[in-house]
């Protein structure tokens, strides 16, 4: 599954630069390649309270599963999502957790992102910038490159969860002139 970064650019153009025509697809623009999807199960919120930056919250990660074309496995319990809702209407997540592939390799995932309310009061999409730390070997390809994540709410067996899809930016070929 490949999609153009034009979608991300269009989101940015609409929210950061005001209403404009979406950029036309550029054959030299990088594309996004699907890496994997995870469903992460969550425990009850642990409210921290108001801070000078906004309202803090911790969400413990209890487990889950993931699968993609090149890897699959489970989310290890014990991670967390450290959240901040600031007074200006932005919501920031910073999650840190471990995944274990079906062949036993443990990989650290550090995923951060921000979603802000638009002028109409609707919450914007939550796009993330994941970083992976994989041992050298079969999954070393996760240690480099640029990745983008999408986050949406989910449920597993009636319990709260999130569905996260990760994509890797693929360099485009130079355009011929």
Domains of the chain, CATH where assigned: 37-170 (2.40.160.20)
Report the predicted TM-score, pTM, of the whole model to 2 decimal places. Answer: 0.80
> Are 66 and 99 within 8 A, CB to CB?
yes
CA distance 40 to 92: 18
CA distance 23 to 11: 10
* Closest among 124, 123, 114, 132 to 38, alpha carbons compared: 132
Say what the pLDDT of residue 25 is.
65
Given a cut of 50, the residues of the chain with pLDDT beneath it are 1-18, 175-177
């Amino acid at each position: 599954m490949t999609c153009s970064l034009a979608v991300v650019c269009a989101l940015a153009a609409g929210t950061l630069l005001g209403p404009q025509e979406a950029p036309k697809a550029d054959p030299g623009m990088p594309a996004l390649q699907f890496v994997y999807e995870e469903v992460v199960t969550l425990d009850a919120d642990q409210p921290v309270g108001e801070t000078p930056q906004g309202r803090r919250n911790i969400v413990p990660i209890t487990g889950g599963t993931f699968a993609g074309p090149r890897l699959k496995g489970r989310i290890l319990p014990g991670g967390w999502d450290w959240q901040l809702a600031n007074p200006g209407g932005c919501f920031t997540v910073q999650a840190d957790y471990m995944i274990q592939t079906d062949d036993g390799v443990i990989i650290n995932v550090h995923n951060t992102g921000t979603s802000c309310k638009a002028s109409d009061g609707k919450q914007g999409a939550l796009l993330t910038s994941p970083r992976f730390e994989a041992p050298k070997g079969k999954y070393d390809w996760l240690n480099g490159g640029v990745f983008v994540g999408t986050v949406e709410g989910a449920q597993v067996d009636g319990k709260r969860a999130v569905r996260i899809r990760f994509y890797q930016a693929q360099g485009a070929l130079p355009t011929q002139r």
